[in-house]
Chain A
Amino acid sequence: MRCQSACAVLGFLNFTQGGLRSLLFYKMLEVLKRPVVVTTNINLNIVALTGVGLLSRLWHLSYPRAVVFDEVYYGQYISFYMNRVFFLDDSGPPFGHMLLALGGYLGGFDGNFLWNRIGAEYTSNVPVWALRLLPALAGALSVPMAYQIVVELRFSHCTAMGAALLLLIENALVTQSRLMLLESPLIFFNLLAVLSYLKFFNCQKHRPFSLPWWFWLMLTGVACACAVGIKYMGIFTYLLVLGVAAVHAWHLIGDQTLSNVLVLYHLLARAVALLVTPVTLYLLFFYIHLTLLCRSGPHDQIMSSAFQASLEGGLARITQGQPLEVAFGSQVTLRNIFGKPLPCWLHSHQNTYPIIYENGRGSSHQQQVTCYPFKDVNNWWVVKDPGRHQLVVSNPPRPVRHGDVVQLVHGMTTRFLNTHDVAAPLSSHAQEVSCYVDYNISVPAQNLWRLDIVNRQSDRDTWKTILSAVRFVHLNTSAVLKLSGAHLPDWGFRQLEVVGEKLSRGHHESMAWNVEEHRYGTSQEQRDRELELHAPTQVDVSRNLSFMARFSELQWRMLTLRGEDAEHKYSSTPLEWVTLDTSIAYWLHPRTSAQIHLVGNIVIWASASLATATYVLLFLWYLLRRRRDVHDLPEDVWLHWVLAGTLCTGGWALNYLPFFLMEKTLFLYHYLPALAFQLLLLPLVLQHVYDHLCRSRVQRHLFSTLVVAWYSVACHVSNKLRPLTYGDSSLTPGELLALRWRDSWDILIRKS
């Protein structure tokens, strides 16, 4: 909302020295003689646009009172926030989820709803209106913002209205912003970033370092951070803004009317606003996220032991009060740090390797050692000093240090962890790891392991529970205990294979292990020890991980987490988006055929693509002609034309083309941010054609008429598709069939 208010401010004067008093009094009188005046400029266009924007997005917002499409996911996360339970979502940083959760918080949502299927009716405790409010507001405010962007690009108000109205009636944008989804906030912040950069850029000429200059500059950085914080996709718009800012800064460097110091100030201000601020804000989002989510939840397993221990409940409950330093005689469970394909613990059991594998190779027939993804009593190992016989911790405990040689004794079977020069069952290039069974044949026991603490501070570091990442280096063969990632066949109960890998292959996280559960063993007898192993570990004291450590771990897991490649009925390829060859059924009324369907206004999509092509062709044409010294456009028109094109076409291309390189499952709604930029471009191209390509009056009139006719058609189409957008009226199968303009649209028709 552009609302310039110029206030005639009352002067405040302090009563100071007596000599000045009469003068001041006189001045005060003068001030009082004038009336207090507040003048404001209100652009009614903007007010009107905001009004209709709100109307289109908020109308019947809480309908349907049922879970629509991806609300099933986001709703789940909202519930997690409400219950403050930790979760991990690899689809994007947490700011977007937190925005949605804010709606829930304001609406007083208690988080008690089972988000299990699309179409489920909301119970009365779910504040649907409040939950959907923020995305809807973001969608509504995008409309006046489009207007302002076009105005700031120095195009006419009429063109600006055109852009805003296109955004207003575009069905896909309306659908997407009326639900608990993240695209509309993303588009909002994308546009906000572009708008504030333009405002800043326009301030630059007249009033650098003024208050508005700073305000718009900082807002650019903030909006970029928010866009990136909602979805990683936001990074494309961030790059666009950064790129444009870099080019402008480069011109600034070349401006020799400015002094060197001033140029430096300019560059520093930009660096602070566009680089430092977004990074800080991004960290802040995670900080809030991690502060809010302090309880253990369903995704704990993916995180490291240390991270889990920092959450309330879950592992923290088990590991609290454990002794910190592992000593000779300690009973431990060892978790693999890499944890792929599954988080698991070093495990052994009575069963032995088969004498002959399926492919005819032989094994040592000793006891199996595996990695097992569930907590189990067979995951317990005792750390033994090779020099002594006892399996209990002496008093005082003798801590194990980096470089010490240890034996690992399997708690339940009292056999020693062993490896030897026999090929492992599946990874035949590596050594088999077993628990040694003495068959009295010529295979000697080789059960000495050197402890190698990977993240040690000094070479005499002690081995710490949870915190230390350790490797076990086999003394005889210098093989390292490693999780190979392969699943054993049935004879190994489909547990994961553990092998001894040659150290020389370089370090890999799958070779590192950490102690998760730990206690000082006290039972010398095997029978007592078995009882002890079955007993739960003791309690108390929490371990805190620094924010940066938690942040980097969480961020890394989010980026590297790979879900199974999800096939989806409504997934599509980027090529199908431009031509609108695809649609997504969002929701179907349980009884009638009223339904919500994500489908775009086909007239607008087609003309937007056409406009983009026209822009590119015209741009190339002008560029080539300028190179031959033919200037079709005046210099300032050309500059505006280039800037507008860079932002709009560039925004479209950056938000669209990278999808061709992505291998994840893609949906139509991924195109919406790119579409928003395209809609900004469309009226600009129309105005350009009107101003510069229509030569005669008649042509201009004709062109205006065509544009009006085209817009009416767009409105008509929009209205036709309205039942699918709002899902508020039930159509007959015939009407639905009539709406199926493309064979590939999956409009749902009830068989009655």
Chain B
Amino acid sequence: MTYIHTSRLYFRLLFLILCFQQCSSAAALSVQCKIINVDYVECIWQRNLSTMNYTFSSMFANDGLDRGCPKYILEQNYTGCRIPLKDQNLRFNKFIVTIYTEGKHTISKTFDSLERNVLLNPPYNLSVMWNEHSDTLSLYWNSSAPLRKTCIVYMVRNQKDPSQSLNVTDTSYSVSPVSQNKLYVFQVRSTVADSCGSSDFWSDWSDPVEWSGTGNSSRPGWLYAILSVVLLSMLGFLLWYCERKKILSLPVVPDPSINLQDLFHKHDGNVESWIHISKELKEAFQPDYTEPSCDVCEVLPSCDTISKPEACPESKASSDPEACPQTEICSQPETCSQLKACPEPEACPEPEACPEPEACPEPEACPEAEICPAPQTDSSDKENTEEPQSS
């Protein structure tokens, strides 16, 4: 009796262990199946690192065909299989999945139906049109789902105001009245309608389409970017070739010769002809009277300066010929109204011998000046009227 009880115990324990293994393997491999766009079934499961090879098999109830996997999905985190859906009504049928792993382990899962696991592709070709007369904004789109129009429900939303989302059954939607100062950004998504076996999944949102309050259909952002680049290029081009703008931004040294081309080329440097002085104005500058010149005689140095050799007079006849005393040239003595009689010099005593003056640099030769006709004097004066000694 004890032996029988023990063997029964062993069998029960073995049965529990086997059940636990099956349960744990099923729990470790969770299979999810969805019908994508009523076109194909996609089943995915998490890859078990200890197992690399899987063999997938599936079938719909009353379909009669045990389909293998025509196309496996191999991703980094998961593995899957895509099975074409040959009949849309099969989604109402029971779906049985079997996965064979290495080591002859088998995982099986049964779906009562995939009716509620339908995921449609998002709508596409969204466009918006504004009717100015009725102040109505109309949104249009297309759907790629191979279902009757009444079998698809769409949800339309304005990204800028999510509370405005609502469901429609047609592939168009109208908004009226339209605010001119608002920006509208529309998106649409779809699901299977209740009358055709509703799904628990909405599709992804479609690409957004914008409309601003200017009344025109919105332009994509890339158009604004291109226009900006073109505008900047044009400004750069104008800046490069437009001299006036260039001068303002990069000032250059003024060249007045630009405005004096006529003077140089046409009038050959003749300013009078260039500036077009009238004949009357020219004659107005001609002198109509003459003024007698005043002759100025050179003032002779006094004897004091000569007797004091230490105070040797500085030679004005330096290298600069202009320093030479200029004497008025009396070119026309008869016109002189008055000849100033030069003062008679005093009779000077014999000067002491002057010390030898320091050698001074030889001045340049002064231009010869005409000497005023010396008044007639006695011989003693002649000595005094001699040219002063240059030092």
Q: Are these two chains actual partners, yes or no?
A: no
